[in-house]
Amino acid sequence: MEMAVIIAVLFFIFGTAGYMAIEGWGVLDSAYMTAITLSTVGFLEVHDLSDGGRLFTIFLIFTGVGYFLYLGGVFISSVVDGEIKSMLGRKRLDNKIKKMNDHYIVCGYGRIGRVLCKFVGEDTQDIVVVEQSEELKDVLEKDKIHYIIGDAGNEEVLEKAGIKRAKALVAVLATDTANVFLVLTARQLNPDIYIMARASSPMVGKKLYVAGANQVESPYDIGGVSMGLKLLRPTVSNFLNTALSRQSDAIQIEEAFVPEISDYAGKPLKDSGIRQNYNLIIIAIKEKSGHMEFAPHFETIIHPRDTLIVMGKTADLKAFRRALGNI
């Protein structure tokens, strides 16, 4: 683009200098004649032209005007091509979203939504963000997130995001009112979807549960507890941050679901070989009823549809989850 401007300026200087040399005009008259010639506005000539001036004008028209017409065509072509590429890109993105199943829908891409997507994105790319602000479109594309620009409270937008096929929906919109309405709408569209919502106060949290949320979280409460833990139990806080942040391969805490058909189902922990074969520690077992048994005894039986909370190295955790069919 800079080169095109430089060439245009050179044409103008060349035309001005040409009229000054051939016709002997002043700078202003020569510049004016060059301007009306290159712009093809059709005004009268400044002075009568000599034969040399006419030949120079013809040359200037064929070269300079031709260049500007070509430049205009290139500009229009680039705009049209950009629009076509944008439309095709949006079409491809919509097709990818249509093919998604058991994916996560995150409504709102503010500070909390973006951090959440980054964390979940370390495990899966099956994330669809619904964001109303057009200004965040470039940020979403930069983060390589599947997205839909629209009102998350609109049923058509949620259906376009695949809410009836989704595994979970997270409501982290800017206001509590918007989150309550979103949860209510999402629950009506998919009675079985898992819904997590953000609340700014306990009173709003109650309304979100009534609207259909499975889990309600307050960033302010979580932040306060985290700060208190770092203040009173700094070593414990550092350990949990390391184990849950996925920034270190040395130690991680993961959950592993035991399917109905599994070699581990029906076995006591001592005979499962989890410790011996994968070097993992079983921290807790969540039964399908929802009951959580912490520090389970070695005689504890692993039942189908139990969820094991295990701790160990990243590679060992992946190998164990692969053996269970979780990956």
Bridging pattern class, strands 281-286 and 252-257: unpaired
Secondary structure tally for the chain: helices H, strands E: 14, 10
Q: Which residue has the higher pLDDT, 213 or 200?
A: 213
101-119 mean pLDDT: 94
pLDDT at residue number 215: 94
Evaluate if residue 228 carries a pLDDT over 80.
Answer: yes
- pLDDT at res. 96: 92
Q: In this predicted structure, what is the pLDDT of residue 78?
A: 65
- Residue 80 pLDDT: 61
pLDDT at 83: 59
Among 273, 302, 264, residue whose Cα is nearest residue 285:
302
Phi first, then psi, for residue 150 (nearest 5°) are 170, 175
Residue 246 has pLDDT above 70, yes or no: no
pLDDT above 90 as % of the chain: 42
Q: Which two tokens stand for residue 36?
A: 């009306």
Cut 0.85: pTM above it: no
Note whether 152 and 132 are within 8 A (CB): yes
Is the pLDDT assigned to residue 263 strictly greater than 60? yes
Chain segment 27-68, per-residue pLDDT in tens: 888 888 887 877 766 666 777 788 787 888 888 777 776 777
